[in-house]
A and B are shown apart, each in its own frame.
Chain A
């Protein structure tokens, strides 16, 4: 059973388009992180959200934590080929300790 469901699992779009990746769960999370991973490398932390309804921006990337802290989204504006990669959401379930991951979204931005 996947505690965090990411969608879509694959996304291929043209440069300049906007996109949104979703991360959903039936569990409440005390914190949620988004990572980006390049082939052959470890995941690199992009952002952490901890408060329900929180919105954080990182240049063209906007991250939102759901009001109930069960879901999150990543929105990219005007995608560029350099945004290509595997995007992973991860979180700590409230009352638990370990960090669990979604299955990832493989994003390809075509020039």
Chain B
């Protein structure tokens, strides 16, 4: 297994355009997280999935953001009508969780988004 894979690694887009990022988690992992990270800060939680179910979405996340995990495997994060403030590193992580509580998460290399 090659770990968590994110594509693309870098994306430059014009303000107002839509962008979509993909995350392929570690194959047997049932939980998948999306985070956003700006320079010098810790990752900020966006949303997470347990299998194909989206269980929580940050209240800080505007309606322009949507995420899917249709078959409980890979996930996509779409940002519509991008704004300059969306420029950040978008991180995906996966973990194997049984029962209640969390488990250690493994991260991909991230997608660096620049909105110009």
Contacts and interface: CB of A to CB of B under 8 A. Distances in A.
B98 interface: no
Interface string B90-110: 010101010011111111111
Interface in B73-116: 89, 91, 93, 95, 97, 100-110, 112
A99 B55 CA distance: 13
Contacts of B107: 35, 42-45
A91 to B, nearest CB: 8
A111 interface: no
Interface string A57-101: 000000000000000000000000000000010111011111111
Contacts of A102: 42
Given A42-B109, A42-B110, A106 B40 contact: yes
Given A41-B109, A42-B109, A43-B91, A101 B43 contact: yes
Contact of A41 (B93, B101, B106, B110): B110
Given A92-B101, A95-B100, A97-B100, 14 more contacts: A33-B104, A35-B107, A40-B112, A42-B108, A44-B107, A45-B107, A48-B103, A92-B103, A97-B97, A97-B101, A98-B56, A100-B45, A101-B42, A101-B44
24 contacts: A6-B42, A30-B100, A30-B101, A31-B102, A40-B112, A42-B91, A42-B93, A42-B109, A43-B91, A45-B105, A45-B106, A88-B42, A88-B43, A92-B102, A95-B100, A97-B50, A97-B56, A98-B48, A98-B102, A99-B45, A99-B95, A103-B42, A104-B41, A104-B42
Interface string B28-51: 000001010000111111001010
Interface string A10-54: 000000000000000000001101010000111111001000000
